[in-house]
Amino acid sequence: MNDAVRTGRLSWRDARVLVTGGAGFIGSHLVDALVAADASVTVIDDLSTGRAENLATVRDQVRLLESDLAATIPSLSQEPPFDAVFHLAAAVGVELVLNDPVRAIEINVETTSALLRHLAAHGSPPTLVASSSEVYGKPGTSVFSEEDDSLYGSTTVTRWSYAHAKALDEHLALGYHSTRGLPTVVARFFNTVGPRQRGSYGMVLPRFVAAAMENHPIRVYGDGRQTRCFCDVRDVVPALLGLLASPACYGRVFNIGSDRPISIRELAEAVIGVTGSRSRIELVPYEDAYPSGFEDLRHRRPDLRRIRDAVGFEPHIPLEQTIRDIASELARERAGGAA
């Protein structure tokens, strides 16, 4: 095991790091940062939502196991223990969860349980478990703090199955820390955006940018006055590294995102303005956009005091820059496809 890890001063240089879901949107940016820090990185990803091309710039410097995580975990016992683990593999996206809730629950809970069980028995490396602002449910407040109570809708409303599953992931992570000695950190993501994100599973910003670049109508669900806070993945990744590098963060939960709200209609207007699009905004009732079982929240904003105190987190990349970078990436991909 890396000496810096053993002594409690986690250094990424030469550390053996596992990133599950490492070919995904957030995971691939995290892998880039770890490679830049001279870590030895293993990625496990079945590429169901991740993409091998997300790792193109570091492909020769990482070990990619293209496999289902649950099927791969038993083979990891034949290897030396990892020095650190980032568990980002999950069923993600509103549309995926609504269309196949059973698969989403099984992936998000059973696989997390199996991984934590393995890690506790093989070295107990510091482990970050990715969670979601969905765990707050609908608590009746617009600013969400880590110790707030959670309030979920009825189990007959499908979208809450994801919130329940991610909450169980958190209970597992915190339980393994308190009873099995596994150093865990839980990161609750709030609307992370940026290059490599795709709108295929309901992600709003890349969906808006893709429509704007084609001058197609931008479909805003509901009345568009619901607000969210969007944070660039390139601001998020350094915070993830900082959380797992600090033993003071183990056994704790941290919100991570921006705390600057914007309405979804304003987001669409910003996309049109930045891209110079001729798109018009089209309001679409929720019942016409999603299958039965969807319920939305009017406002969602994280309280960031805990993560600011812990690692000095502060988002810096403006939303307009994120929009430009997503548009530039889509333009390059389309030009490459046309060639």
For the chain, give the mean pLDDT. 92
* Catalytic residue list contains 162: yes
Q: Count of residues for the chain?
A: 339
Choose, from 152, 162, 176, 290, the residue flagged as catalytic: 162
* pLDDT at residue 284, as a whole number: 94
Q: Above 60 in pLDDT, residue 282?
A: yes
- Distance of alpha carbon 199 from alpha carbon 135, whole angstroms: 22
Which tokens hold the place of 308?
């600011």
Quick one: pLDDT band at residue 6, thresholds 50, 70, 90? Answer: very low
- Domains, the chain: 3-193+231-259 (3.40.50.720), 199-227+260-299+317-338 (3.90.25.10)
Instruction: Compute and round to an integer the Cα radius of gyration of the chain.
Output: 20
* pLDDT tens-digit series, residues 120-143: 999 999 999 999 999 999 988 889
- Cβ contact 203:192 at 8 Å: no
E strand or H helix that includes residue 218: strand 218-221
For residue range 74-99, list pLDDT tens digits in order.
999 999 999 999 999 987 766 677 77
Any idea which of 16-30, 197-211, 217-231, 300-314 has the lowest mean pLDDT?
A: 197-211
Is the per-residue pLDDT at 224 higher than 50? yes
What's the pLDDT score for residue 327? 97
pLDDT score recorded for residue 94: 63
Q: What is the pLDDT of residue 297?
A: 83
pTM of the model: 0.93
Torsion (CA) 91, 318, 244, 165 in degrees, nearest 10 = -20
Tens of pLDDT along 22-59?
999 999 999 999 999 999 999 999 998 899 999 999 99
Q: Can you name the residues that pair with 130 across neighbouring β-strands?
A: 187
